Every structure is written in C-alpha cells, then in structure tokens.
Amino acid sequence: MTDTTDSLPVIRARNLSKSFGKFRALKDVSFEVPLGRIVGVIGANGAGKTTLLNSILGLGSYEGDLSVLGLNPSRQRGRLMRDVCFIADIATLPKWMKVEEVLDYVQSVHPRFNRSKALDFLARTNIPRGRLIRALSKGMTVQLHLAIVMSTDAKLLVLDEPTLGLDILFRKQFYQSLLEEYFDETRTVIITTHQVGEIEHILTDVMFIKDGRILLEANMDELTGQYTEVMVAPGKEQEAMALGPISTGTTFGKTTCVYKDIDREKLAGLGEIRRLGLADIFVATITGEEQ
C-alpha cells in the first residue's frame, strides 16, 4: 500500500505542461492537493480540465514534474491504479458483460475490491444483476460504477463530469452517497463539473482553470468570504468604480460590481450587497481576467 501521510501531498505538480502539436493544453501548472480534501476543478470547455486529469491518471504524457500518491503516473501507473478510482463522463464499463460479470471481473483484478459491499449498495437500487451493461440506462450505469468505486479501498477518486446527462434527483443522490459512504479524512476526491452550484457545498477546495493555466487555487471557506457583489445605487457609480471592482455588469438597468477583499461595511453605502456563490465567483474571475 502506498504510504501517504499528512506531510506528503496526494498530488504535487510543478510546471506541468502538455501540448498537442502547436496547441498548449496545459501551461506550466503548479499546485498541491493535501490528503482528505474534495477539490473542484472548474473551467469552461477546452480549459484543460480533462488533460489535467489524464495526466494525474497516467493516461497521457506531459512535461514537468508530477507526483500522485508519491508515484510518477507515467512510469508507475500500474502501482498507482491500486489506490485510484476514476469515473468519467462517458460509460467506461464493458457493454457486452452482465452486471454480475462486471463484479466478477473487478474482483479478479483488484485486490481491494469488496464484492459484498458492492452487492449491498446495488441492493438499494433497481439494477438487475443479470442484465447486460448495454441495456442499462445511463443512471443505472453510473450507479453501478459508483457501487464499484465505493467498494474499492482507494485513496484517490477522480470524477470527470460524473453526472453529465442525469436528472437533478439522481445527481443529488450521487453526491450524497459520495459523502456518506466513501469520503473520509483518509481519502481525496477531485471533481470536474459544469453543475458548479450542485457541488460547492461539498467542496473543501477549488481551482479555476482557463486556457491551460490555474487562475485561482483556494480553500472554499476562505474563498466565499472574499467576494462581494454590489448592485450600485443611482449616483454612486463613480464611487463604486473608484474602489476597483474585479468585474462589472448591468442588472435591471443598474451597474453591478464584484469586489475582492474589500470590507463589506465599506461597500454597504454603495447599494445592495450580496455574497457570491462559486459559479458567480468563477464568472467574475474569468471576466475580470479578460478585462
């Protein structure tokens, strides 16, 4: 078993880069992920999220230094996969197998798979164990994949748009199961998703990525307290702009300004204020970077 301690980051990247021909998908990315965290990697399509995850999983070459659970993903992927589970945005289970056969296969190849635990999880679903994978709905397929993941004693779980195309009820159940039956202080979870509002309450940390660069890396508790939006009262526009908003817009004909690290009492005199959610912070950061 890989020896992972609090002093050793689960993931450590230094000047990580990846190019496809002349296109640079990752540009000198550096970050660390400690043990026992749930990290959201947020970015638009083409920002580099999947390329980053593929590097972490040892699914592609890269330049720079990358350590995952103390191992080099490119050279030691076999050892790494003993401690890593992955759910992608597309079904990756063999469609020609039956549900029961998939469990047989996983049990035969992964020494840390607990079949009885998987069967207990599946007993709470309506998935027929004798049905072919190709005959399952997308929701059932994700439930089966989740049952396998939750029944495997892995230290790192990587989720790349795991609930894409699923209804809101199932998405909620998915993340509830993740929290209640998988995550603890000995495990680490990396999530990418476009449904930012649905995961912000479970995240401990977040990274914003754009054009292959990390724009922001922060603890969620600290992040949400840093940003404030003001719907500026008429006549206060000049005063509001003088305080240096990171982004501006218009709502209901009024100027809106987003500020970072400015005391709310100081902003209260400008108009109506509110604390931003993660999706709004992401948009403000991206927009501010473009201005």
pLDDT at 1: 35
pLDDT at 90: 63
Which residue shows structure tokens 């939006």? Answer: 229
CB 175 within 8 A of CB 128: no
pLDDT at 97: 92
Geometric angle at alpha carbon 41, from 189 and 43, rounded to 5°: 160
- Closest Cα to residue 153, out of 118, 105, 190, 203? 118
pLDDT at 17: 95
Which residue shows structure tokens 């840390």? Answer: 112
**Three-state SS letters, the chain:** CCCCCCCCCCEEEEEEEEEECCEEEEEEEEEEECCCCEEEEECCCCCCHHHHHHHHCCCCCCEEEEEECCECCCCCHHHHCCCEEEECCCCCCCCCCEHHHHHHHHHHHCCCECHHHHHHHHCCCCCCCCCEHHHCCHHHHHHHHHHHHHCECCCEEEEECCCCCCCHHHHHHHHHHHHHHCCCCCCEEEEECCCHHHHCCCCCEEEEEECCEEEEEEEHHHHHHHEEEEEECCCCHHHHHHCCCCEEEEECCEEEEEEECCCHHHHHCCEEEEECCHHHHHHHHHHHHHC
d(CA 45, CA 25): 12
pLDDT at 5: 44
- Closest Cα to residue 149, out of 186, 177, 191? 177
Which residue shows structure tokens 């350590």? Answer: 67
pLDDT at 3: 42
Geometric angle at alpha carbon 229, from 225 and 232, rounded to 5°: 145
- For the chain, the structural domain boundaries read 11-222, 224-290
User: In sequence order, which residues have a C-beta less than 8 Å from that of residue 175 and are 6 or more positions away?
Assistant: 163, 198, 199, 202
pLDDT at 289: 60
- Closest Cα to residue 133, out of 161, 98, 104, 109? 98
pLDDT at 86: 87
pLDDT in single tens digits along all 291 residues of the chain = 334 445 689 999 999 999 998 899 999 999 999 999 999 999 988 899 999 999 999 988 899 999 999 999 989 998 998 899 888 766 578 889 999 999 999 999 888 899 999 998 888 888 888 999 999 988 888 888 888 888 888 899 998 888 777 778 878 888 888 888 788 888 999 999 888 888 888 999 999 999 999 999 999 988 888 999 999 999 999 999 999 999 898 888 889 999 999 988 889 899 999 888 899 999 888 876 655
CATH 3.40.640.10 for domain 11-222: no
